[in-house]
Structure 1
């Protein structure tokens, strides 16, 4: 076993026409339950690290909380093959979540819960607050490079995603990693919330493709710029445009593509932006 985030296993590598016995570090993946007031709300398969950050980010993305102060306590507890993250909310939030559960559980068999799930997946998010902060092309490249360089677990395993918060002039303030791209971003959101960092003053950068959930989570954080090394989906572009987020994809080396709000990337040449 490793430090709880990875494990060393035997493998057989095929190299130069020969099969050779070897070893490799692989990431741990365990069930993580999020329980509010003693009731399990969701179970995620995730890397068992930064679980307090994960709880805050997940709670914000699920619209269970609006501010970090609405969580009173977070306690991860070993539970057989997984971990039960027990979250205590302020009374008003706990009562609102209980009422929400009753609404979802009430109309059994009518199909309403399925409709609610679909609406939740495709939900629109509020526009992020405008910010005077801009990135240069060099900053975009730096953010992507620093995230790759800073992924310690991925260097060991080559099997996890990363999410970081970049601030011009200060580099990457925080990095979080997980086997799931959504989990890595939830952990990052929680870390930024708990640190009291102003999300309007930087950019979220991720190693994954830009699915709509990644845009939604960035919007809930209130960050106006999202950078990824891969391309976005059509729905991600629509959602980012509606939320006022600059969506930057395929950031590799010194090249990238901007899909929404190109005004936040400044090159000093007005003709660059159509």
Structure 2
């Protein structure tokens, strides 16, 4: 489990077992190392505070994480449980580790998706236009309220080259299948720009890409927590580059 809260605050993190017995109780700068569990409580590189609790497969069960406020401004925190498919399969338990009750199904992005200029991509099925966003596609926003994911692309039941095979394809699903679609579209945009003698910055790429999306779905106007600004339209993005005038700066909002 990973927990983050503001660097302006200071919490104490306690773990209790099913019998309500306290196993550890760590303040900022401390760690705990005991059979079945390891925990740290540190200041992150971004200035906020982070607590991590790692449990071994033998530690499966019901646990309580209790947060004590030592220095509280507003008490806001975010917490996630990493998925544990492999360990659970070995234990013949097929449901993921989870919080007993889900307070908020937003903020489920992996930390690798939360870069300032990187483009986070959601996944949907391109084979059925009426399908909702893929159920495995994480929801934003980021902890600090930024709009991610920013765009979505086909990532469900995608046939792609099978590594180490000469002729076979493999059908896979995941945002790892959707992200290469956006990478390919950006490569085509850069190729078109180079052909015209235009250099595109990351801000210009983002502007062109997000202004040429399609919606419905998503049905709501503006940014969506899973679709982002909308679904990618490769040809429209490339045509937007073609429409640029050489040496004319692209206005960035």
Pairwise TM-score range, normalised by the shorter structure: under 0.3
If asked which structure has higher relative contact order (CA below 8 Å, sep 6+), I would say 1
**Larger radius of gyration between Structure 1 and Structure 2:** 2
TM-score (norm 2): 0.26
Q: Name the structure where strand makes up a greater proportion of residues.
A: 1
Q: Name the structure where helix makes up a greater proportion of residues.
A: 1
TM-score (norm 1): 0.24
